[in-house]
Chain A
Amino acid sequence: MKNTIVILLLATIGYYLGTIFFGIGFGDAHFANGVKDTYLALTTSELKVANTVTSIVVNFRGFDTLGEVTVLFLAATALGGILYKKRHAVGERTVLFPASSIVKSGAKLIFPAIVLLGAYVFIHGHLSPGGGFQGGTIIATGFLLMLLAYDNFSVNHNVLSFIESFAGIFFVAFGLAGLLISGTFLENFMPVGTMNDLFSGGVIPIIYILVGFKVAAELTGVIYTVLHEKD
């Protein structure tokens, strides 16, 4: 009975989504009067940022990104609150199979490379594909690898929360600086330089690097909290 209702519901949703999206047309230029062209024009002329996605994420729609890092911060906070146990220092992990020495030395070998790649990706977020979120995630995978390979690998929770808080505070502070110096929140108040230089785009790379640190710290914190959960 329940299954029939669900399938009917899904059929209706599927039918309407189908009519809607097959009508849009794949690869057509279907919004002539949209804001897309303005973004593409402004990012080269005003911001000197090569990666348009970055200029949208950090500048044009930077307020969304501030909300987004807040969501991550809240998720980390929520996780700590939901899984909190009275009188429990972070417990020992239960490890069913200890990793072999090949995995261990391989992880040790590749870990610096992963962190370096992550840092590269978020430092060059305004020039090439990638950015703070992507780079931060890459760094967090490095920590995940270490946590999987070494059952006694530990991350200092206080350091993580310091990074988290400081990156967030500086993000908001840069926004407020824009408000004070140029008149609007998150406005780009530094000289933009020339296109495709590493030091270009004003505050955009700086904010994206902060986002990278924050995402890396928060993702690592989330993984660490869940891994050290004992029943």
Chain B
Amino acid sequence: MDSLYKMIEYGIYSAAILLILVGLYGALTKKSLIKIVIGLSIVDAGIHLLLVSIGYLKGGTAPIFSPGYEDKADIMVDPIPQALVLTAIVIGFAVTAVALSLVIRLYRHHDTLQIDDIKNLKW
């Protein structure tokens, strides 16, 4: 059982960290605005996964006191990361929406999505 947990631990944490790194790589190296936005969203997804998984408890159950679970508080997983992730997801959505609308504006203005063709301002 313990080795199973070890495997899940490495699996989940590496998956989440890999997502963060893949997203960062995409956001930093890609030339298309849409791909940059996608990269930023992937970073967000990885972070949310990481945040939820640190609240997990071995053999835990959802932190909901449904009938029959009123006295099971000691085996409930941590509810705080879940609440934080809820907030973070909504904020991530808002940022992505604004980013996409900016992409639309840039496309309207320049007729292209390649950042090499858009650079009017110096970095």
- What is the interface of chain A, defined by CB distance below 8 A to chain B? 2-3, 6-7, 9-10, 13-14, 17-18, 21-22, 24-29, 35-37, 39-41, 43-44, 50-53, 56-57, 61, 64-65, 68, 71-72, 74-75, 78-79, 82-83, 127-129, 131, 133, 195-196, 215, 222, 225-226, 229, 231
With a cutoff of 8 Å between Cβ atoms, the chain A residues found around residue B62 in the complex are 129
Q: Please list 14 pairs of residues, one from A and one from B, whose beta carbons are closer than 8 Å in the complex, sorted by A's number.
A: A7-B25, A9-B28, A13-B21, A14-B17, A21-B16, A50-B64, A53-B86, A64-B87, A75-B97, A79-B97, A83-B101, A83-B105, A195-B70, A196-B65
B66 touches A196 (CB 8 A): yes
- Hey, what's the 0/1 contact readout for B60-98 against A, CB within 8 Å counting as 1? 101111110010010010111011001101110111011
Inter-chain contacts of A195 with B (CB < 8 A): 65, 70
* Interface residue SS majority, chain B: helix
Q: A10-B21, A128-B64, A226-B104 are in contact. List 14 more A-B contacts (CB 8 A).
A: A6-B29, A10-B25, A26-B12, A26-B13, A27-B8, A36-B78, A40-B73, A40-B79, A51-B63, A56-B83, A71-B90, A72-B94, A75-B94, A195-B70
Residues of B in contact, count (CB < 8 Å): 54
B88-122 vs A: 1/0 string, CB under 8 Å?
01110111011011101101100000000000000
Chain A residue numbers with a CB within 8 Å of B20 are: 13-14, 17
Task: Report the separation of the CA atoms of residues A229 and B53 in the bound assembly, to the nearest whole angstrom.
Answer: 39
B36 located at the interface, meaning its Cβ lies under 8 Å from any Cβ of chain A in the complex: no
* Contact status A133-B86, CB under 8 Å: yes
The 4 A-B pairs of least Cβ separation, nearest first, read A26-B9, A75-B94, A27-B58, A52-B63
The answer to whether A79 and B86 touch (CB under 8 A), given A10-B24, A50-B64, is no
Contacts of B58 in A (CB 8 A): 27-28
User: Are B83 and A61 in contact, with the CB atoms below 8 A?
Assistant: yes
Which residues of B approach A to under 8 Å, CB–CB?
5, 8-10, 12-14, 16-17, 20-21, 24-25, 28-29, 50, 53-54, 56-60, 62-67, 70, 73, 76, 78-80, 82-83, 86-87, 89-91, 93-95, 97-98, 100-102, 104-105, 107-108
Among A65, A127, A129, A225, the residue within 8 A (CB) of B87 is A65
Q: Which B residues lie within 8 Å of A68 (CB)?
A: 87, 90-91
- What distance in Å separates the Cβ of B114 from its nearest Cβ neighbour in chain A? 16
- The complex places the Cα of A107 from the Cα of B104 at a distance, in Å, of 28
